[in-house]
Structure 1
Amino acid sequence: MMQIYGIKNCDKVRAAMRWGQEQGLDVQLHDYRVDGLDAQLLDTFIQHFPLETLVNKRSTSWRGLSDEQRAQLTPEVILEQPTLIKRPLVKLKQDMILGFEPDQWKQLI
């Protein structure tokens, strides 16, 4: 199974879903806007990636943060705005990969 975290209208998320389906994987999307993001799931992400790596600093969501929120980036800020997380975040088996990385995914299937 390939679990993809992101938002369904993101081009990279759609490409990841298409790639997984082409590989014959059971692809499931966890859309932050539909399915939400809770503290437990975010903690799982943080175990794999530091906050600085997890956040997309080129996103519209990042630009919308106050200077204080950017300087004091906390899990609470991400829980309020899960679209700050880089996309896609993909879980294959026990591994998590951030970004569109089919070469890495291929090694895990």
Structure 2
Amino acid sequence: MRIYGLKSCDTCRKALKSLEGAVLVDIRADGVPDDVMARALTQFGEKLLNRRSTTWRGLSEAERQGTPGALIAAHPAVMKRPLIEAGGQLFLGWDKDVQAALLR
């Protein structure tokens, strides 16, 4: 199981602590593999952007018009976190539904 997020993100750390054997992949340092990002964009689309983040608020209107994939490639911290890859499936965030699916 892989958790794509930021090592400084509290939510990512909570998910990592709860998911035994999971590995955190820091998206600033290592990025998200192209195949995983393509699947995430197909599955989540615009939901992959964290429009409440400090990074998002710092973007100009022109920058915000980019595609989710281009925005995340240029500004990794604008991605909603964590993106969890488990058993061939992708999960976004760390809400009760995701926890219920992964903490069985």
Q: TM-score range by the shorter chain?
A: 0.7 to 0.9
**Per-residue deviation, 1:47:** 2.3
Give the corresponding residue for 2:12: 13
RMSD: 1.7
Separation in 2, partners of 1:78, 1:33: 10
Separation in 1, partners of 2:68, 2:15: 28
Q: Can you give the 5+ residue segments of structure 1 that lack an aligned partner in the other structure?
A: none
Give the corresponding residue for 1:35: 30
TM-score under structure 2 length normalisation: 0.85
- Sequence identity, in percent? 35
Please give the secondary structure, in 2, of the residue aligned with 1:61.
helix
Rg comparison, structure with higher value: 1
AA partner of residue 10 (structure 1): C
TM-score under structure 1 length normalisation: 0.81
1:1-109 correspondence to structure 2 within 5 Å: 2-21=1-20, 26-37=21-32, 39-50=34-45, 52-100=46-94, 101-106=98-103
Q: Can you give the 5+ residue segments of structure 2 that lack an aligned partner in the other structure?
A: none
Separation in 2, partners of 1:38, 1:64: 26
Residue correspondences, number: 101
